[in-house]
């Protein structure tokens, strides 16, 4: 949309009396009618009377002493959120599609602040979030509804926002718009898995076009709508390029001193935009309408994504410290009792954690700033055969060596072996018969491959070869069965070459970053199958994972995300660094193996980062993969 085009399509209303739509508030301003919108048109109305009792038009009261209210369309009905009573309790109701029946779903814990504004935000996964604004500079976000599963409302996070925030509205596409009194209008992300950031939509004068500010904001059909507090200027915004917003003035709303609680709906047949506000100065409600071309509103539902969604079944305990700490997991499979298998995970601020399959921690080894970890079975330590784990140690650019008891998976730290790398980073292991290799890389792009050997329990490493990519790498994985090595260059893509150190085969790019494999390329793992081995790669830029066949021509076979399992109280995975997969059974629910990944934003509630486990059966079913 260009401003010039939109302005040409708008017939401006210059006074409320000239443009007011007929409604009962003209005669009785003690009743507020809130539209329950369906594709931009009211499906029915909610009425809030002089005693603040909420009811469906011509129906029974279902909520009393209501302070603020919002409505969102959900599957086969509408979700209503309200703040009720002297204790300011957030309460949720579900209304059927015709608004004739109201069902009380849940009460939430009352926040420890006066709720200044409230709004519901529909998310891409079919869930709905409730935002409650604290004018002191924060907002609570709760997940309150899901189309896929029954859930108990849960607090996702406390979102730092601008102080003196008075109103909010969501676009259903990840955008949350918040009006900051006397400052401006901002766009935040409504996705709790995203980092906190904000983008300016408009500012007060002299920096923008909001005059003295706005306390009234609504979102409708691709448009953000606001009304200024000083002049009643009505403006509409649509996103442009480079985080800019195209703006058009619809007109001035006369006779309203302090507009707030903006509601908007659109009648396509008459090309009429209807607005309703509460005048905080008088307590009365008023309506206005503007002629706007139907082409300026988009009520179409988003196309179904080609990215499938699976849900985690369990999560590990969080690491000890907040910040970018957890990084890369590995899976140790018990030789006789798969349900006793263990998860190894690095903590870049502390050491190596070991977790049971219920997520509880069984060991924490304080061995320093470990980045990536991998495991191999049947390593000859010279005084017996056990399993071996190796991690990259960022404190001194070494390989951190661990002996893993082959019977119970318990880890013992043995040594730190020096490397020639600066800023050591990613890591994987490769076994070629009786030979075990450690392959590490540094942020400069250099890879070093070491042959590991041991005598009387003491492990040593001999450099077998070096190679390099041009920019920063991290993830890599070796296919022991085929002798292939896959390495990632974060901003470029995935390469393959022979894992054998005496090979002179050059690097070959098999998957470049694009709009499917979105940089950064981070963790990667291999899953054996009957007809192919699958290569799973973290597409960190869009919080997903791309699955390729691991033999030429390296066909891309699918893409998935790990969404929230609200019923189990496990949030989604986002900003994954490291991941691992096994085809071996981990017991009931994981008979065909499991996928595990680091979660960069651990919420519900907010805690330090951790690792989350997904049944491979769920991934295979969604992507129609062979066993």
What tens digit of pLDDT does each residue of 274-324 get?
Answer: 999 989 988 888 999 999 999 999 887 655 567 999 999 999 999 999 999
- What is d(CA 310, CA 307) in angstroms, rounded to the nearest whole number? 10
Structure tokens at 131: 């935002």
Which of the four pLDDT bands, split at 50, 70 and 90, describes residue 151? confident
Q: What is the DSSP string of 121-142?
A: EE-TTSEEEEEEEETTTEEEEE
Residue 33 CA to chain centroid, in angstroms?
Answer: 35
Q: How far is CA 165 from CA 69, 108, 135, 156, 226, in A?
A: 16, 21, 5, 20, 14
The structure's pTM equals 0.85
| Per-residue pLDDT, 581 | 98
Instruction: Using the predicted structure, report yes or no on whether residue 574 has a pLDDT greater than 70.
Output: yes
Q: What is the mean pLDDT of the chain?
A: 91
Which of the four pLDDT bands, split at 50, 70 and 90, describes residue 363? very high
Q: Which segment of 75-84, 350-359, 588-597 scores lowest on mean pLDDT?
A: 75-84
Closest CA to 442 of 462, 427, 421: 421
**pLDDT above 70 coverage of the chain, percent:** 94
Instruction: Using the predicted structure, report yes or no on whether residue 430 has a pLDDT greater than 70.
Output: yes
| Per-residue pLDDT, 512 | 97
Structure tokens at 364: 């924490």
| Start-to-end Cα distance in the chain | 49
Mean pLDDT to the nearest integer, 340-357: 98
Instruction: Using the predicted structure, report yes or no on whether residue 21 has a pLDDT greater than 50.
Output: no
Which of the four pLDDT bands, split at 50, 70 and 90, describes residue 56? confident
What tens digit of pLDDT does each residue of 201-235 get?
Answer: 999 999 999 999 999 999 999 999 999 999 999 99
Q: What is the DSSP string of 492-511?
A: TEEEEEESSTT--PPPEEEE
What tens digit of pLDDT does each residue of 443-459 get?
Answer: 999 999 999 999 999 99
Q: What is the DSSP string of 235-256?
A: EEEEE-STT-EEEEEEEE-TT-
Which of the four pLDDT bands, split at 50, 70 and 90, describes residue 241? confident
What tens digit of pLDDT does each residue of 406-428 get?
Answer: 999 999 999 999 999 999 999 99
Mean pLDDT to the nearest integer, 239-246: 88
Structure tokens at 315: 């999560």
| Per-residue pLDDT, 4 | 27
| Per-residue pLDDT, 7 | 27
| Per-residue pLDDT, 123 | 87
3-class DSSP assignment, residue 6: helix
| Per-residue pLDDT, 15 | 28
Domain 308-623 has CATH 2.120.10.30: yes
Which of the four pLDDT bands, split at 50, 70 and 90, describes residue 2? very low
Q: What is the DSSP string of 520-561?
A: PEEEEEEEE-SS-EEEEEEEGGGTEEEEEESSTT--EEEEEE
Which of the four pLDDT bands, split at 50, 70 and 90, describes residue 99? confident
Query: What single-letter DSSP state applies at residue 567?
Result: G
- What is d(CA 275, CA 232) in angstroms, rounded to the nearest whole number? 12
Closest CA to 263 of 491, 25, 495: 25
Q: Which segment of 29-38, 158-167, 492-501 scores lowest on mean pLDDT?
A: 29-38
| Per-residue pLDDT, 301 | 62
């Amino acid at each position: 949309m260009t401003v010039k085009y939109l302005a040409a399509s708008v017939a401006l209303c210059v006074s409320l009396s000239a443009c007011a739509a007929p409604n009962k508030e003209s005669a009785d301003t003690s009743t507020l009618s809130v539209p329950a919108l369906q594709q931009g048109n009211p499906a029915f109305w909610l009425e809030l009377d002089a005693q603040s009792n909420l009811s469906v038009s011509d129906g029974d009261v279902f909520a009393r002493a209501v302070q603020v209210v919002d409505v969102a369309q959900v599957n086969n009905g509408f979700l209503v959120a309200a703040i009720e009573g002297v204790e300011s309790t957030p309460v949720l109701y579900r209304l059927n599609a015709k608004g004739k029946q109201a069902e009380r779903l849940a009460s939430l814990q009352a926040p420890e602040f006066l709720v200044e504004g409230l709004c519901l935000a529909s998310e891409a996964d079919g869930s709905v979030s409730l935002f409650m604004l604290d004018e002191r500079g924060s907002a609570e976000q709760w997940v309150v509804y899901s189309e896929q599963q029954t859930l108990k409302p849960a607090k996702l996070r406390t979102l730092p926002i601008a102080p003196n925030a008075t109103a909010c509205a969501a676009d259903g596409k990840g955008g949350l718009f918040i009006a900051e009194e006397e400052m401006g209008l901002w766009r935040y992300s409504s996705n709790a898995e995203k980092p906190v950031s904000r983008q300016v939509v408009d500012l007060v004068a002299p920096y923008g076009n909001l005059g003295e500010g706005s306390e009234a904001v609504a979102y409708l059909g691709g448009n953000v709508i606001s009304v200024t507090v000083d002049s009643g200027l009505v403006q509409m915004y649509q996103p442009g390029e480079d985080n800019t917003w195209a703006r058009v003035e619809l007109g001035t709303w006369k006779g309203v001193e302090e507009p707030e609680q903006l509601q908007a709906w659109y009648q396509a047949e008459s090309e009429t935009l209807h607005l309703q506000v509460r005048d905080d100065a008088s307590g009365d409600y008023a309506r206005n309408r503007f002629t706007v071309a139907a082409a300026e509103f988009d009520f179409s539902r988003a196309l179904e994504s080609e990215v499938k969604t699976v849900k985690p079944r369990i999560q590990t305990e969080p690491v000890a410290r907040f910040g970018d700490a957890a990084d890369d997991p590995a899976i140790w499979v018990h030789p006789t009792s798969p349900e006793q298998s263990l998860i190894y995970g690095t903590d870049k601020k502390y050491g190596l954690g070991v977790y049971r399959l219920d997520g509880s921690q069984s060991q924490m080894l304080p061995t320093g700033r470990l980045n990536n970890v991998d495991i191999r079975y049947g390593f000859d330590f010279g005084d017996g055969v056990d399993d071996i784990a190796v991690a990259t140690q960022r404190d001194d650019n070494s390989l951190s060596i661990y002996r893993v008891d082959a019977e119970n998976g318990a880890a013992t730290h043995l040594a730190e072996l020096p490397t020639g790398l600066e800023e050591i980073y990613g890591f994987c292991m490769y076994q070629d018969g009786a030979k075990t290799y450690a392959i590490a890389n540094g942020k400069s792009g250099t890879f070093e491959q070491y042959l590991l050997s041991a005598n009387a329990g003491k492990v040593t490493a001999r450099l077998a070869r070096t190679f390099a990519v041009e920019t920063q790498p991290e993830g890599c994985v070796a296919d022991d069965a085929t002798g292939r090595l896959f390495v990632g260059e974060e901003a470029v893509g995935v390469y393959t070459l022979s894992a054998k150190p005496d090979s002179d085969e050059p690097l070959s790019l098999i998957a470049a970053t694009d709009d499917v494999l979105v940089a950064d390329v981070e963790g990667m793992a291999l899953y054996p199958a009957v007809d192919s081995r699958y290569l799973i790669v973290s597409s960190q830029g869009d919080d997903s994972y791309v699955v390729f066949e691991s033999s030429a021509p390296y066909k891309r076979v699918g893409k998935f995300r790990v969404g929230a399992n609200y019923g189990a109280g496990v949030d989604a995975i986002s900003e994954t660094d490291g991941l691992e997969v096994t085809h071996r059974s981990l017991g009931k629910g994981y008979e065909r193996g499991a996928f595990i990944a680091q979660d960069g934003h651990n919420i519900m509630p907010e805690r330090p980062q951790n690792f989350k486990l997904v049944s491979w059966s769920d991934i295979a079913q969604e992507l129609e993969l062979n066993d």
